[in-house]
Structure 1
């Protein structure tokens, strides 16, 4: 299952409890949880559509991870990283496109991982889950030499967060998704 962590968290009764947090590859059966998380974490213009999630979880699940906990014997998605591979050295409009019969935005031979979504449930933000998930993701993607870099677009207010993980800001991205004004970030592997 990958990363495992026992965290002391405060329960509803104000007592500390141990919570098992782990990272695993996402599957198509996680589709509804991913869609719900995206709806909770992003404004509507910045959300990934259900069809795009379905495509990404079908064609490249090895690039998509979730951070989970178990409560009352049920797995609960706390956050996710969703990605594809591209031939470009950065995230482009075509790498983010919805798949059609003529267009497949994922290119398995691509040397770049286009990280499309890093999201944490709003109720669980501030617990370092995003940092934990991103660190684990970078570590896993760095093994095996299959990729040269991880690229993403982010709002200006998040640049510092990604720079702490070795991403370099290349200025404003030409991508117009969600109204544009994204910053282009790349981390070489």
Structure 2
């Protein structure tokens, strides 16, 4: 794990304190916090459904990370990166689908990580938490040689942000989720 970011905050006695920010793997017990974050960060048509979060956190928690802080002995989710593995070199409608008895969107043998959601609480956006989380995510996923790439879809306005981490824009995605108009982005590892 990278070194935590430390921020100056004020305590109840108005003395400066340090807020510890850290990244850890998510677990099924983080479901409610992830759903609440998704609701705060995305418009309704772009939100991941609760049952999809539940599936991803149960079957592939090793691909799902959160960035947290602790205040008054309580942990708070500030952002998350939620993913599955796929055989495709890019994110597909199938990799994003809800699990059914006949369809399992996560394929553990897949060489591609499909990063479905990178979200930061709106009140914490602009504080480099997305940068910290994505850097940590890429570093951890690059270790071990189990994957060849990380793929995601993003709105055109975010292509530059992901480009700073080495993601290459492959053009307009055929995915129609949330009204379409997504760009395919891929980071080769």
How far, CA to CA, are the matches of 2:155 and 2:5 in structure 1?
A: 31
What is the TM-score normalised by the length of structure 1? 0.96
**CA separation in 1, counterparts of 2:5 and 2:153?**
31
Q: Partners of 1:140 and 1:6 in 2: how far apart? A: 17
Cα RMSD after superposing both structures: 1.3
TM-score normalised by L of structure 2: 0.96
Q: What whole-Å deviation, never above 9, does each CA across 1:122-168 have from its counterpart, x for those lacking one?
A: 00011100000000000000000000000000000000000000000
State the Cα deviation string for residues 8-36 of structure 1 (Å, max 9, x = none): 23438876431101100000000000000
| Distance in 2 between residues matched to 1:15 and 1:48, nearest whole Å | 40
User: Which stretches of structure 1, 4 residues or longer, exceed 2 Å deviation after superposition?
Assistant: 8-17
> Hey, what's the Cα distance between the residues in 2 that align with 1:139 and 1:168?
17
* Number of positions where the alignment pairs a residue of Structure 1 with one of Structure 2: 188
Cα distance in structure 2, aligned partners of 1:16 and 1:119? 28
Segments of 5+ residues of structure 1 without an aligned counterpart are: none
Q: Which residue of 2 aligns with 1:114?
A: 114
Match of 1:163 in 2: 163
Structure 2 residue ranges without an equivalent (≥5): none
* Alignment match, 1:182: 182
Q: How does 1:116-131 map to 2 (within 5 A)?
A: 116-131=116-131
Give yes or no for contact 1:8–1:16 (8 Å, CA) kept in 2. no
